[in-house]
Structure 1
Amino acid sequence: MTADSWRPVATLAALRQRAALLAEIRQFFAQRQVLETEVPVISRRATSDPHIESITTQCVGTAAYMATSPEFALKRLLAAGIGDCYYLGKAFRQGEAGRRHNPEFTMLEWYRCGWDDRRLMDEVADLLCQILGRHQVQSLSYRELFQRELQLDPHSASDQALASCVEREMDLAFAPNDRSECLDLLMSHRLERAMGAGITLLYDFPANQAALAKVIPDKSGTLVARRFEAYVGGLELANGYWELTDSAEQMRRFEADQAYRKKNGSAVHPFEERLVMALQAGMPECAGVALGVDRLLMLAGGYKSIEDVIAFPLERA
């Protein structure tokens, strides 16, 4: 421990800019009559997502988990009839640290009843344009990006073709486990940097990357996940869905996630069966999106690291 370890890492100017950003976000939603909600950041249920790890703790003598996102609680509120709503606050993920990650971070997540993913993409673009002052926006499908940059259709290409593309495009010390990992590697190591400096809205992901999005045929008849991601200068900022409302399909996906985690040696925790109950009760048709506020502030202020915009990152927390 050094003599100045009590000090915040971020400058006071950056922290004032954070406060202004949070106020601007709240004003954006107030003008659109979207209700701010408060949900727990500690739960007796963990995420089942195979690619995200919950932080485990103890509470009142039993295992508890820090929320990796407010999604499940917000959807329970939607099923109860709260209407358009958002959350702006902390979320927590195990093992996430680096220039763009901190285990404790600020998340904005909002839901629009009666909307689909396409309409929500427009609102995400509105928010980003307002905050960043950038008005160069491109929307393209996952397929279009792969075909433009790699001359490959990610939906129909064989597993071998994807593996060969990974081998050709990057120098890895390991072999990808499956087609989904191939696609993720190509996106993160090759395609993100090809998006350009403006705002990119990428939509219609492969069906096996649906997470909690609806899966329906596109214009060509290919089953796609009605999911989108927003990037600025190749930096991922937001992930949105036309939300799944089928309770039986939700349970099937939870069980598939648990099986995947068990097969790959990841911890298996209690999953949020209360979300299934909420869907059974009747969550309205809606679209939702989660956005990383710390990354947004990095872009707005021209900062290079997430530590530049957080007062006390993990090593000083």
Structure 2
Amino acid sequence: MAGPWQPAADMLRLRQRARLLAEVRQFFAERDVLEVETPLLCRATGTDPNLDFFSSQFHSPPHAKPLFLQTSPEFAMKRLLAAGSGSIYQICKAFRNGEAGRFHNPEFTILEWYRVGFDLQQLMNEVADLLSSVLPPMQTLQTSYRQLFVQVTGLDPLLFERSAYRQFGLEHGLPEADALCGDDHALWLDLLFSHCVQKNMPGDTVCLVHDYPAIQSSLARIHPDDCRIAQRFEVFINGMELGNGFYELCDAAEQEARFDKEIAYRAAHGLAAVEKDALFLQALQAGLPECSGVAIGLDRLLMIACGCDSIEEVLAFPIARA
């Protein structure tokens, strides 16, 4: 009988993981994108109220300093971009507290890259190229968030009418939605998209969903032609989210204002207090080059490549065996 000391993934899956990492590195080597490493243990973390984090203490007598395991390497990578690195990528661990389940492990492997001079369309095209190089052949669909949301729900995600959203929830097995979401438009969108829209995406298709509502995009630029839309996209396969990309915000003052708004939201909702990443803001003030960036969950990508139903099938030691 298999004991808990043994890996959850079989050796075939572990060899497939090694091959996937090699293919990803070859993809970026052919495009002259520099591989980098940044700290996973840092003095600050993100302010996103949707993410919880792991904290620790660094004992440096006579003081003890709080440090945080990063939910993403984004801020440190942008400091490299501001220092003149050019286009970069990183494969590393990321950590998100409270996330465990079929598609989640609190410690997971992330691929994050930034392309200097790329707009969002160019980056979406490169994401499609990467996925086609590591997955079996499948179609690619690019669609706006609004078009997809309206198609599935009949609701306009850019115009919030609570009564219409409430009625949709009641008619589609979400009677608790109104009590949970109230007048929070962004929360309504998260709930309806994850419970209704994602499961209606076409199968065996790389779905690149772009032009997200601005209320959901704290690190992306606002669309120049419509302030209700942010220059952000997400990539899905079989309804599972694989990655999140932005035409990156370069304005330090605007970024700090968004951080302040998220910190205030955290305080109002009893979430863990965080401080703004001062070094990241200094990098933005020094000048972030025009760029687009994206993060892809490699464990989920491996699930797609292997035809697995649970993230534990592609991890040597998921949290239950760590």
State the TM bucket, normalised to the shorter chain.
over 0.9
1:222 is displaced (CA, Å) by 5.3
Alignment match, 1:235: 240
1:51 is displaced (CA, Å) by 0.2
Percent of aligned pairs with the same amino acid: 48
Residue of 182, 187, 190 corresponding to 1:181: 187
How many residues align? The count is: 314
1:160 is displaced (CA, Å) by 3.0
1:67-97 CA deviation, whole Å, 9 max, x = no partner? 1000000000000000000010100010010
Helix, strand or coil for the counterpart of 1:5?
A: coil
How high is the TM-score relative to the length of structure 1? 0.96
Counterpart CA distance in 1 for 2:121 and 2:110 is: 21
Structure 1 counterpart of 2:201, which letter?
M
Residue of 266, 284, 300 corresponding to 1:279: 284
Which stretches of structure 1, 4 residues or longer, exceed 6 Å deviation after superposition? Answer: none
Tell me if 1:203 matches 2:210: yes
8 A contact 1:154–1:183 mirrored in 2: yes
Helix, strand or coil for the counterpart of 1:299?
A: helix
Residue of 289, 299, 302 corresponding to 2:294: 289
Counterpart CA distance in 1 for 2:175 and 2:292 is: 37
Alignment match, 1:32: 31
Alignment match, 2:173: 170
8 A contact 2:160–2:185 mirrored in 1: no
Alignment match, 2:9: 10
Alignment match, 1:145: 148
Q: Relative to 1, partners in 2 of residues 1:20 and 1:139: Cα closer, same or farther, differing over 3 Å?
A: same
Structure 2 counterpart of 1:253, which letter?
R
Counterpart CA distance in 2 for 1:171 and 1:101 is: 23
Residue of 67, 70, 79 corresponding to 2:70: 67
Counterpart CA distance in 2 for 1:44 and 1:222 is: 33
Alignment match, 1:99: 102
Helix, strand or coil for the counterpart of 1:58?
A: strand
Counterpart CA distance in 1 for 2:253 and 2:175 is: 39
Structure 2 counterpart of 1:292, which letter?
G
Counterpart CA distance in 1 for 2:174 and 2:72 is: 33
Counterpart CA distance in 2 for 1:215 and 1:308 is: 39
Residue of 243, 259, 265 corresponding to 1:260: 265
Alignment match, 1:84: 87
Gaps of 5+ in 1: none
Gaps of 5+ in 2: none
1:161-212 CA deviation, whole Å, 9 max, x = no partner? 2233233223243521411111111110000011111110000011111120
8 A contact 1:162–1:179 mirrored in 2: no
Helix, strand or coil for the counterpart of 1:304?
A: coil
8 A contact 1:134–1:199 mirrored in 2: no
Counterpart CA distance in 1 for 2:132 and 2:151 is: 25
Is 74-83 or 222-231 further displaced after alignment? 222-231
Helix, strand or coil for the counterpart of 1:138?
A: strand
How high is the TM-score relative to the length of structure 2? 0.94
Instruction: Please give the root-mean-square deviation of Cα atoms over the aligned residues, in Å.
Output: 1.4
Counterpart CA distance in 1 for 2:157 and 2:251 is: 26
Residue of 209, 215, 237 corresponding to 2:222: 215
